[in-house]
Chains A and B, each alone.
Chain A
Amino acid sequence: MANTAQPTAVALGDATVAFRVAGDRVYTAVEKANLSVADGEFVAIVGPTGCGKSTLLNVAAGLLKPAAGSVKIFDQPLIGLNRDAGYLFQADALFPWKTALDNVAIGLEIKGAPREQALQRAQDWLTSVGLGAFANRYPHMLSGGQRKRVGLAQVLIRDPKILLMDEPFGPLDAQTRQIMGNLLLELWNADRKAVLFVTHDLEEAIALADRVVIMSAGPSARIIGDWRVKLPRPRDISEVRMEKDFHELHREIWSVLKDEVMKGYVQSTQAAGAG
């Protein structure tokens, strides 16, 4: 899929992210992360809870500034927000006071597109995420999965070059996650963007991505592994899980991830005990 000749969409060089907590104590969330995502490449970041996966994503989005290190987007240093990126949030991020249609159209409207045209395109996008008949619903009238579909359309209508996704399907039930995963792959296949996909679910990561990057448990989380997924595309999320290659890769990555998950778990219980 990705070859070295393609330009690099996202490049983090020794990026360290630190937060000031309680006076002058500094909490280092991520330490010296090196990560590059080629144009058109689908990269999944997997790590134990609280390891700073989302932090890394926010750095790539420009919502967070790293304390040290560099962030380059298409070989240009990132200043301010990443204008090439679309961001699909874990929590509900739709505008609750707008209908599904208006939520999708807004991305074009703020760019200055005429309203008629924006609505037309938004309707097309809603149809392609399977919600053509739900245009006039408000977010609270939609199910969790439907809201994610609207969110996906809202991000994709702007045609960003990079797609950042923060456990987007985390709150959904298992079946809906598979359906959403397939929808995502289908949309991505049509027009391959660089994708940085954060998840805690290793199976989901392998099924979706070209590369799986593993992070260690925080604090001072590091990138400790990088696997190429050689499963053929197009894939079907539920079928790809049955394949032998899938299992082998899963076992290989899990042997590394398992220790970190346990470390992360112990740390989280200790932190809770101390606090």
Chain B
Amino acid sequence: MSRSTLLLLQLLVAVVALAVWQFLTTVPVFGKVLLPPFFFSNPIDVGSQIVKWFSSGVIWKHLIITLWESILAFVIGSVAGVLVGFWFARQPRVAAVFDPYVKMINALPRVVLAPIFTLWLGLGIWSKVALGVTLVFFIVFFNVYQGVKEVSNTVLDNGRMLGMNERQLMRHVYWPSALSWMFSSLHTSVGFAVVGAVVGEYLGSAAGLGYLIQQAEGVFDVAGVFAGMFVLSAFVILIDMGVTLVERRLLVWRPTAAEGRG
């Protein structure tokens, strides 16, 4: 299949889906509209809502807030994950002591932490960042831990025979290995940073995409909810494309860089 045919078919799916949606919500079949517009809205209303958001410029403020929360959650969670992952992998005793607690916290559905974070950090962006951090941290932590532990013994021995001391082994062997594992989970961790931000906003905030969806839902504005969902999907896809670009640059040395999705 050529690239253009593929694109055409992909577009066709969207067109058909939207047409069916529009048809079922507006045209009566056997004297009855199958999808009541009150619950399902329709593509035209949703589209005009999105256009209105962008033309009036209201949406930018919310997008930027969500973007900031995601970025902060990703950066803080990643840095903490790398440091702790490294520390645990190099100090098996520390890892053994903390092991049950790490498992316990990781087993906890993170949504239940949202109210606590809201109490501690208020309704501003930091409670959302904190939620995102708890999600990102564990992904990065486990990957870095694994990355440091699974350095090939031959490569390590080679480093030693080439005359590397512990510090140089750290820099030239453990560190790149750990980072490569972290980068290979980039899609997952960035995705979770966004999830943390949006869920946090949804549960209580004054701005952001999650807030927008929650507000629309509160007044039974189904078109608003759908519009929020579409904007959110587009936002996530854009971020994901950015991650793919970054990944291609960082993991050129890996044979599976292109298909290395977490």
Docked pose: A110 CA to B157 CA in angstroms: 15
Given the known interface contacts A87-B157, A91-B154, A97-B180, the answer about A140 and B163 at a Cβ–Cβ threshold of 8 Å is no
Q: How far is the CB of B204 from chain A (nearest CB, A)?
A: 43
Q: A262 at the A/B interface (Cβ < 8 Å)?
A: no
Q: A79 at the A/B interface (Cβ < 8 Å)?
A: no
Contact A85 B161 (CB under 8 A): yes
Docked pose: A139 CA to B255 CA in angstroms: 9
Q: How far is the CB of A110 from chain B (nearest CB, A)?
A: 5
Task: Specify which of B152, B157, B159, B253 is in contact with A97 (CB 8 Å cutoff).
Answer: B253
Count of CB-CB pairs between chains A and B under 8 Å: 65
Q: How far is the CB of A137 from chain B (nearest CB, A)?
A: 10
Q: B15 at the A/B interface (Cβ < 8 Å)?
A: no
Given the known interface contacts A83-B163, A95-B172, A158-B163, the answer about A138 and B253 at a Cβ–Cβ threshold of 8 Å is yes
Size class of the contact patch on chain A:
20 to 34
Q: Which of B161, B164, B177 has the most chain A CB atoms inside 10 A of its CB?
A: B161
Complex: chain B residue closest to A102, CB-CB: B172
Taking CB atoms, residues of chain B closer than 8 Å to A123 are none
Contact B155 A140 (CB under 8 A): no
Contact A93 B254 (CB under 8 A): no
Taking CB atoms, residues of chain B closer than 8 Å to A140 are 253-255
Task: Specify which of B154, B161, B254, B255 is in contact with A61 (CB 8 Å cutoff).
Answer: B161
Taking CB atoms, residues of chain B closer than 8 Å to A89 are 154, 157-158
Docked pose: A98 CA to B253 CA in angstroms: 7
Q: B52 at the A/B interface (Cβ < 8 Å)?
A: no
Taking CB atoms, residues of chain B closer than 8 Å to A99 are 253
Taking CB atoms, residues of chain B closer than 8 Å to A81 are 160-161
User: How many chain B residues have a CB neighbour from A under 8 Å?
Assistant: 22
What's the dominant secondary structure at chain A's contact region?
A: loop
Interface residues of B in 137-166 (CB under 8 A from A): 152, 154-155, 157-165
Q: How far is the CB of A142 from chain B (nearest CB, A)?
A: 11
Contact A95 B176 (CB under 8 A): yes
Interface residues of B in 176-218 (CB under 8 A from A): 176-177, 180
Complex: chain A residue closest to B251, CB-CB: A97
Q: How far is the CB of B221 from chain A (nearest CB, A)?
A: 51
Docked pose: A99 CA to B252 CA in angstroms: 10
Q: A107 at the A/B interface (Cβ < 8 Å)?
A: yes
Taking CB atoms, residues of chain A closer than 8 Å to B164 are 110
Q: A48 at the A/B interface (Cβ < 8 Å)?
A: no
Docked pose: A85 CA to B161 CA in angstroms: 8
Given the known interface contacts A87-B157, A91-B154, A106-B172, the answer about A96 and B254 at a Cβ–Cβ threshold of 8 Å is yes
Q: How far is the CB of A210 from chain B (nearest CB, A)?
A: 24
Q: B80 at the A/B interface (Cβ < 8 Å)?
A: no
Complex: chain A residue closest to B179, CB-CB: A97
Q: A154 at the A/B interface (Cβ < 8 Å)?
A: yes
Complex: chain A residue closest to B169, CB-CB: A110
Contact A96 B161 (CB under 8 A): no
Taking CB atoms, residues of chain B closer than 8 Å to A97 are 176-177, 180, 253
Given contact pairs A93-B154, A93-B158, A106-B162, enumerate 11 new A-B contacts (beta carbons under 8 Å): A81-B161, A85-B161, A89-B157, A92-B154, A93-B155, A94-B158, A96-B155, A97-B177, A107-B163, A110-B165, A140-B255
Give 28 A-B contacts (CB < 8 Å), ordered by A residue.
A61-B161, A81-B161, A86-B161, A86-B162, A87-B158, A89-B158, A91-B152, A91-B154, A93-B152, A93-B154, A94-B155, A95-B155, A95-B158, A95-B159, A96-B155, A96-B254, A97-B177, A97-B180, A98-B172, A98-B253, A99-B253, A106-B162, A110-B163, A111-B163, A138-B252, A140-B253, A154-B162, A158-B162
User: 10 tightest A-B contacts by CB?
Assistant: A93-B158, A138-B253, A87-B161, A97-B176, A140-B255, A91-B154, A93-B154, A97-B253, A107-B162, A110-B168
